[in-house]
With several copies, the nearest count.
Chain A
């Protein structure tokens, strides 16, 4: 039986289709989860996709955090359910306190969409085991509020425990502290990532297929 991955749709989610497609291309089954439904329908993992939930008018992810589905996600994450938050999903994870820190307005104050190089620094999470240690990948980044911030202590702690999952290389696109592109929780099942691996799963429509590893990792780990 293939792995079942839930993809949450909040009002204003945009990359939910792409995330579902990435899940399918990786050989898993995608299951749509609706923000207002508090059940996770027995999925093996959850993706919180990119977009502008509730318009992101107040603060990115601030309102989505209160959706009924998030209560279930928070509880299941504590029990080890793999959760990947991409872009807006990362913001939702921070607002929900599943991950430390916050994402603020890009330092250049513009939305930025481009192909971005990253280095994968932790390959032991549920979402990154397909990558080689220090592997450099190129996937799209697109955000207006992608600057990762946290206090020094938190940052030091993240670094010390290998919880920086991915770091920007060849230039920091948004002013993130310590070039951080993605982090995980202590257990490594919850990962937040600003760039978009789901837009790099087909050579035809993305910069390549470097993003597929996130989805393959999950399929592999869960199958093991």
Chain B
């Protein structure tokens, strides 16, 4: 059994209203020095040992992320 993490973020050119809203809230919270926030998705997968990187890449590329608007990274942890 292995644990795999897939992080999905919007491509830089796509507007991220949720990240923007957080930046906006920071001021009200009295937090300074955070200049940008982007929000994405984080997936933690339990996979059998036999599952190879290609399978996970395919999974990320077809299901977990929408390549039209999102990029992803894969980490085994």
Whether A66 contacts B68 by the Cβ 8 Å rule is no
A58-B18, A63-B21, A109-B18 known, 5 other contacts, Cβ within 8 Å: A57-B18, A58-B39, A66-B28, A105-B18, A107-B17
Whether B25 contacts A105 by the Cβ 8 Å rule is no
Provide the main secondary structure of the chain A interface.
Answer: loop
Option from B13, B18, B24 in Cβ contact (under 8 Å) with A151? B13
Whether B17 contacts A57 by the Cβ 8 Å rule is yes
Q: A67-B28, A149-B15, A175-B15 are in contact. Are A104 and B69 (CB under 8 A)?
A: yes
Q: A62-B63, A104-B14 are in contact. Are A55 and B21 (CB under 8 A)?
A: yes
| Complex CA distance for A150 and B68, rounded to whole angstroms | 8
Min CB distance A1 to B, Å, is 35
Question: Beta-carbon contacts of B1-32 to A below 8 Å, as 1s and 0s?
Answer: 00000000010011101100110110011000
Nearest A-chain residue to B11, judged by Cβ? A151
Option from A57, A94, A149 in Cβ contact (under 8 Å) with B21? A57
Whether B21 contacts A102 by the Cβ 8 Å rule is no
Interface residue B64 (Cβ < 8 Å from any Cβ of A): yes
Interface residues of A (CB under 8 A from B): 54-55, 57-59, 62-63, 66-67, 94-95, 100-102, 104-109, 147, 149-151, 175
| Complex CA distance for A175 and B10, rounded to whole angstroms | 16
Provide the main secondary structure of the chain B interface.
Answer: helix
Whether B13 contacts A175 by the Cβ 8 Å rule is no
| Complex CA distance for A67 and B29, rounded to whole angstroms | 9
| 24 A-B residue pairs with CB within 8 Å | A55-B18, A55-B21, A57-B18, A58-B21, A58-B22, A58-B64, A59-B66, A62-B66, A63-B21, A66-B28, A66-B63, A95-B66, A101-B68, A102-B66, A102-B69, A104-B69, A106-B17, A107-B17, A108-B17, A147-B17, A149-B69, A150-B68, A175-B15, A175-B17
- Chain B residue contacts of A63, Cβ below 8 A: 21-22, 24-25, 63
- Chain B residue contacts of A109, Cβ below 8 A: 17-18, 21
- Chain B residue contacts of A100, Cβ below 8 A: 68
**For chain B, which range describes its interface: under 10, 10 to 19, 20 to 34, or 35 or more residues?**
10 to 19
Min CB distance B18 to A, Å, is 4
- Chain A residue contacts of B28, Cβ below 8 A: 66-67
Option from A59, A62, A105, A151 in Cβ contact (under 8 Å) with B17? A105
Min CB distance A11 to B, Å, is 9
Question: Beta-carbon contacts of B60-74 to A below 8 Å, as 1s and 0s?
Answer: 000110101100000
- Chain B residue contacts of A150, Cβ below 8 A: 68
